[in-house]
Amino acid sequence: AARMSDAALIERLCTLRGIGRWTVEMLLIFTLGRPDVFPVDDFGVREGYRLIHGLEAQPKPRAFAAIGEAYAPYRSTAAWYLWRAADRAKTIKYQA
C-alpha to C-alpha distance for 90 and 57, rounded to whole angstroms: 17
Walk me through the domains of the chain, giving residue ranges and CATH numbers.
1-34 (no CATH), 35-96 (1.10.1670.40)
Among the options 36, 41, 42, 87, which is catalytic? 42
33: left (phi over 0), alpha (psi -120 to 50) or beta: left
Residue 94: band (very low, low, confident or very high) from pLDDT cuts 50, 70, 90: low
C-alpha to C-alpha distance for 40 and 57, rounded to whole angstroms: 14
C-alpha to C-alpha distance for 38 and 95, rounded to whole angstroms: 24
Does the annotation count 42 as an active-site position? yes
Question: Which tens digits make up the pLDDT trace of 42-93?
Answer: 999 999 999 999 999 999 999 999 999 999 999 999 999 999 999 998 887 6
C-alpha to C-alpha distance for 58 and 14, rounded to whole angstroms: 25
